[in-house]
Amino acid sequence: MIAVVDYGMGNLRSVQKALEKVGYTALVTNNPKQILNARSIVLPGVGAFKDCIYNLKRLNLVEPILNSIKIGKPFLGICLGLQILFTISEEFGETSGLNLIKGKVVRFSSKNTSTTTRLKIPHMGWNSITIRKDLPLFSGIEDGSFFYFVHSYYVIPDDEGVVATTTDYGIEFTSGIQQENIFACQFHPEKSQQIGLRLLKNFGKIS
């Protein structure tokens, strides 16, 4: 069973349905025991970083997530589920994250571009990824494939060795990371049609 962590934020049902569509049993849950008993964990999310951290703590979900990662369970963070893995976010003032990945979360600047065109924020819609790591997660996914994005903030890892994919939006930013059994992406595979389903299927095969 794959646990889809429910902390009151994010399009949980669409993630659950996408996982079920590619053949896995997925349970949306905020029960710490079910998370600890799951084979793999998916942490989706949209919304504010600070609210996410608050809800995870309020529901006593931080410890089972960290313990599951510590014992080697495959973990997939999606969008906000990527960002909260980092040390700190500058969204609405500085907020500490889970600090599993050293680095920070910063806001796009409309001026961060090599052209005279101002960037629209949030970054919303289809954009391509450049694959920086050869991982089982990307089996059957070509470099330059398009995924769906919706975000105003992006991550800056301290260690470039964790960068799995990058994407260009005025600047080249980190759109996916991998560190041991932790995988996370800024884009939404559950909203990315067949290519997104392929990524979720690949994740489910990881043990």
Task: Check 52, 79, 91, 123 and give the catalytic one.
Answer: 79
Q: Which of 123, 151, 185, 188 is catalytic?
A: 188
Which candidate in 52, 91, 123, 190 is catalytic? 190
Domain with 27, as residue range(s), is 2-205
Q: How many domains does the chain have?
A: 1
Q: Mark whether 151 is an active-site residue.
A: no
Q: What is the pLDDT of residue 204?
A: 97
Q: Is residue 190 among the annotated active site residues? A: yes
pTM score of the predicted model: 0.95
pLDDT digit string, tens, across residues 16-71: 999 999 999 999 999 999 999 999 999 998 889 999 999 999 999 999 999 999 99
The answer to whether residue 160 is catalytic is no
- pLDDT the model gives residue 66: 98
Q: DSSP letter for 131, please.
A: E
CATH number at residue 44: 3.40.50.880
CA dihedral 159, 160, 164, 165 (to 10 degrees): 130
Q: What is the pLDDT of residues 131-169, one digit of tens each?
A: 999 999 999 999 999 999 999 999 999 999 999 999 999
pLDDT of residue 115: 57
C-alpha 130/C-alpha 117 separation (Å) is 23
| Class of residue 22 by CB neighbours under 10 A (exposed 0-12, middle 13-18, buried 19+) | middle
Instruction: State the residue for tokens 């101002």.
Output: 118
